[in-house]
Each structure stands twice: as C-alpha cells, then as structure tokens.
C-alpha cells in the first residue's frame, strides 16, 4: 500500500471534519469473505460486518488495519492488496466517522479466534450477504 495514498486519505478525512477514523478488511478465501457478528449489546448489535475497528491517535491506517484484523480474528495480515473506498457514519457516541476499507491477504485463513464478536462466517460472495448497504457497496468494489 502506497504511503502517500494512506497519508492523503487521512488528510482528506480531516478536511472533511471526520473525527473518528475506522479501518475495515475484506478478507477472502476460496470465493468466500469473512464476516463477524457484533455482540447484541454493542452499537449496531447483531449485524454482520467486516473485521474492522478504530484507528488510534497518530496511528497509520495500514498499521491499524493489521492490528485490528489480528485483534478481532487472530489472523496475520501479509499484504494490503487494494483500497476499496470508504463510507461515513455517525458513531454510537455521535462522532462523525469514516471507515476506510481495504482488501487484505492473510498468512493463513484459520483458525479464526474471536475476541470481540459473537460469531463468524465465511459467506459466499455470489449470494446476498447479510451486511449493511454500505458494506455491500464495498464488496461490490472488491469483486469488480
């Protein structure tokens, strides 16, 4: 992943008044993508989502992505292969947030070790995956 591109994404979010940066990973294995189910007590509880999480202050997007994938799944990112776009939303605490989404390759696709989610599934990309419309657009970019 190009350092200049990472820096520009972060700078643009700041210019747009985004307060919270989030990263999301499209992780595929044999035509299936990894989805995680949010705990029911969390903000947007019960939805299926990409492995994702907040970027720490002064943390680069690419490093946050590798850290979040590891924390949420136990899997190690080997490469970030593509930027898939972003979407904006308001966090549970009312912060303007932007989720930057990337296609990633991991060293091994298992075992998946959950630490923050209730469940996971490998969903076929050719079926209607149970995610938000924003994530569906990210997945459409991934398969394009």
Which CATH number does the domain housing residue 138 bear? 3.90.79.10
CA 60 to mean position of chain CA atoms: 14
Cα gap 130→134, rounded to integer Å: 12
Alpha carbon distance 136, 10 (integer Å): 23
Residue 28: CB partners within 8 Å, gap ≥ 6?
A: 34, 103, 125, 142
Confidence band of 82 (pLDDT split at 50, 70, 90): very high
Tens of pLDDT along 27-67? 999 889 999 999 888 877 789 999 999 999 999 999 999 99
* Range(s) of the domain holding residue 39: 3-143
Predicted TM-score (pTM) of the model is 0.94
Q: For residue 33, what are the β-bridge partners?
A: 28, 123
How many folded domains does the chain comprise? 1
Q: Quick: pLDDT tens for 86-143.
A: 999 999 899 999 999 999 999 999 999 999 999 999 999 878 888 999 999 999 999 9
Per-residue pLDDT, 42: 82
């Amino acid at each position: 992943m190009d350092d200049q591109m990472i820096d520009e994404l972060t700078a643009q979010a700041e210019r747009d008044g985004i307060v919270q940066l989030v990263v999301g990973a499209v992780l595929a294995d044999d035509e299936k993508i990894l989805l995680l189910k949010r705990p029911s007590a969390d903000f947007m509880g019960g939805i299926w989502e990409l492995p994702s999480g907040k970027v720490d202050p002064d943390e680069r997007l690419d490093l946050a992505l590798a850290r979040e994938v590891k924390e949420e799944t136990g899997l190690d990112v080997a490469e970030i292969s593509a930027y898939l776009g972003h979407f904006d939303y308001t966090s549970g605490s009312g912060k303007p947030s932007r989720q930057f989404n990337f296609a990633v390759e991991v060293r091994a696709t298992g075992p998946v070790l959950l630490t923050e989610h209730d469940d996971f599934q490998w969903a076929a990309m050719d079926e209607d995956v149970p995610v938000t419309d924003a994530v569906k657009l990210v997945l459409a970019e991934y398969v394009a």
